Amino acid sequence: MKLIVGLGNPGDKYKLNRHNIGFLAVDYLIKEFNASKISSKFKGELYKSSDMLFLKPTTYMNLSGESVGAVKDFYKIDNEDIIVIHDDIDLAFGALKFKKGGGHGGHNGLKSIDSHIGKEYWRIRMGVGRPEKKEMVVNYVLSDFSQEELECISKHFPVIKEAVLNIQKAPSLYTKKGC
């Protein structure tokens, strides 16, 4: 069983925020894999399709680990089979990278997950770019994508679909530089 987690914040207010790129990607995967909602427990919305679970934590970003840890424990999923999709301000807008393990890079959602399950899980990092000034980061990641930006990132969703099926090959096969 694989667990694919999209990071984001719940609610319409955040739906198209840069910080919600993980939710957008998981919404795409839910449709592509014809997944059905199976639970609103585990502090998240959980969907299933054959041997894959898709999770959108409803804890807000900073507590995402509570949701991921609860699903991992209940379904007895190894970290090797967990894939977390998230925004990354250290990558150029539209860049896409895959890696296993590593640090959180200041990302509060990853910090929370690390504290609940450890660091050795797969990450799909989606570049959203960085604002000019450090003090602008919070407002930047909580701002909405433009229509052009949404079109750009949505081009990566089929690549992400392929990667979740073959994550061990993803770092060498699917890393993208941008739109």
Contacts of 67 (CB under 8 A, 6+ apart): 42, 43, 44, 55, 57, 58, 59
Q: Which residues are catalytic, by number? A: 19
Distance between CA atoms of 156 and 159, rounded to whole angstroms?
Answer: 5
Nearest residue to 55 via CA among 5, 95, 119, 115: 5
CA angle in degrees (0–180, nearest 5) for 170-172-178:
80
Contact assessment for residue 54 and residue 35, using Cβ atoms and an 8 Å cutoff: yes
What six digits make up the tokens of 154?
Answer: 């949505």
User: How many Å separate Cα 118 from the centre of its chain?
Assistant: 16
DSSP state of 126: E
Distance between CA atoms of 109 and 74, rounded to whole angstroms?
Answer: 20
